[in-house]
Amino acid sequence: MASAAASEAPPAAGKKSRKRGTERPAAPGEAVPGGLARAGRRALRAGERLGRLYFHLGAAHEGLGDFPLALEYFRRASGHYGSAQPGARAAVCVRMGSCYLGARDPARAAGCFREAGRAYAEAASPGAAAAALSRASSSMLRSRRYGAAEIAAVLAECRALCASIPDRALQGQLYNAVGLGYSQLRAFPPAAESFERALVLCRGAADRRGEAALLQNLAAAHNVLGSPRAALALHQRAAALHGALGNRRAQGQCFGNLAYALGRLGDHEAAAESYLHALQAFRDAGDLQGQWQACEGLGASHLRLGAPEKAVRRYKEALRLLSRCRRPFPAGALVSEQGRFCSTPQRVVRETNPPALDPSVSEGGAQAGEPLSHREREAAASGQWPQGARPKPSGAGEHDPLRLGAQAPELAAPRGNASQHPRR
């Protein structure tokens, strides 16, 4: 009887009986029950783990060169990262852009890099955002499907982000990359301004090769802007620094730029001497394209100095060297290593050759820096110059006033190897 009474006793005060599985859902404004919150966190972690797995699979296939399958895995990875993980989404976009570049689709790569730039900006990472936009602009230039105004807008956005980057080295590299982009658009005033900012950031740093490249770029921009006197000291400093670093090819480019500036100033003897220095540097570097261009500049300088015999010999040498070049560059093209836009031992932007640049051509016959016409070259090679047909000695005949230098690394968002995916 006592046991029966105990079983019928009411529950103790302060304790409520609740059947399992009958928990009341949280009302609006009420805290979520602990079990539901834990379940949500577990689901989120599971999604992150799955996203990282797809990311690593995509990176592995990217390394194998299987870009379509890599892109498929990267898309799956992106689907597991929500709006609360902009950095992870940006990293996936960067890898997708690299895959599209590997698949030779720079237009889609540009879209991925622009999306990565927006996501990095949302994640309050201006350095990574500017690097992604820099890669976007170079891909847009490479695809040739974008207008100059759209590319310039991306470059302007990248340059605006550079001001808030705390890393001075990255800031300088990005300013230089922006300057190179503006140069391909033939927008040389903002290009020169970007090179100047990069040079200020580079001074005092240990990267002497980068400083030499920036000096070369800034001096070349002054050549095109019609400021040869301001470019002289820059050309000389760049040539000396490249020579100290053992980069004879870049030093030859600087001597050629210096010769062009001297010719614009009317000092044709000094221009011819600079062309000789450039020719020797290109010979040491084994650069046939640089050699024939230096010989052509020497021929034009000799003509303007009243020595047609020497000019004929140099033009014939230029023709002989040009015939040995499998892929000669057009007059005024930005010469670079292996047909690329920039010539640095570091990573380079894989650009196509930009359009020919020759801002020195003007009305009224041959002027300083203007290349001789085909008829005039044939006449010079044959030694049959008609009376009065010889161009007036008003400037050197440098046909390549803009030889931009090195230091355009293929900037990527800071990341480790394929197994080091950024986490939240």
CB 308 within 8 A of CB 302: yes
CA-CA distance, 90 to 116, in Å (whole number)?
Answer: 4
Sign of the C-alpha dihedral computed for residues 80, 84, 86 and 88 taken in this order: negative
CA-CA distance, 195 to 214, in Å (whole number)?
Answer: 6
Out of 47-61, 231-245, 329-343, 358-372, least confident range: 358-372
CB 332 within 8 A of CB 356: yes
pLDDT band at 404 (very low <50, low <70, confident <90, very high): low
| pLDDT at residue number 152 | 97
Number of H helices, E strands in the chain: 16, 0
165 or 354: whose pLDDT is higher? 165
SS3 of residue 354 by DSSP? coil
SS3 of residue 365 by DSSP? coil
Which amino acid does the sequence have at 161?
Answer: L
- Return the percentage of the chain with pLDDT > 70, whole number: 64
CA-CA distance, 155 to 360, in Å (whole number)?
Answer: 26
CA-CA distance, 123 to 172, in Å (whole number)?
Answer: 22
Give the tens place of pLDDT for each residue, 257-278. 999 999 999 999 999 999 999 9
CA-CA distance, 178 to 166, in Å (whole number)?
Answer: 18
Sequence-distant (6+) residues with CB within 8 A of 240 are none
Does the pLDDT of residue 363 top 70, yes or no?
no
Give the tens place of pLDDT for each residue, 293-351. 999 999 999 999 999 999 999 999 999 999 988 654 443 334 333 333 233 322 222 22
CB 102 within 8 A of CB 109: no
Sequence-distant (6+) residues with CB within 8 A of 276 are 294, 298
Sequence-distant (6+) residues with CB within 8 A of 28 are none
| pLDDT at residue number 184 | 94
Mean pLDDT of 230-247: 95
| pLDDT at residue number 48 | 73
Distance of CA 177 to the CA centre of its chain: 5
Give the tens place of pLDDT for each residue, 122-161. 999 999 999 999 999 999 999 989 999 999 999 999 999 9
Q: What are the structure tokens assigned to 160, written together?
A: 């605006």
CB 398 within 8 A of CB 263: yes
203 DSSP assignment: T
Does the pLDDT of residue 178 top 90, yes or no?
yes
Mean pLDDT score of the chain: 75
CA-CA distance, 391 to 405, in Å (whole number)?
Answer: 31
- Return the percentage of the chain with pLDDT > 90, whole number: 57
Give the tens place of pLDDT for each residue, 1-35. 444 444 445 545 444 444 444 445 444 444 444 55
CA-CA distance, 194 to 150, in Å (whole number)?
Answer: 18
The secondary structure of 90-124, three-state, reads HHHHHHHHHHHHHCCCHHHHHHHHHHHHHHHHHCC
| pLDDT at residue number 31 | 47
- How many other C-beta atoms can be found within 10 angstroms of the C-beta atom of residue 48? 18
| pLDDT at residue number 82 | 66
Sign of the C-alpha dihedral computed for residues 131, 133, 137 and 139 taken in this order: positive
Matching CATH number, 46-165, of 3.40.50.9100, 3.10.20.30, 1.25.40.10, 1.10.3080.10: 1.25.40.10
Give the tens place of pLDDT for each residue, 206-225. 788 989 999 999 999 999 99
Burial of 315: CB neighbours in 10 Å, binned 0-12, 13-18, 19+: buried
CB 229 within 8 A of CB 191: no
| pLDDT at residue number 186 | 93
CB 21 within 8 A of CB 47: no
Number of residues that make up the chain: 424
Mean pLDDT of 69-73: 95
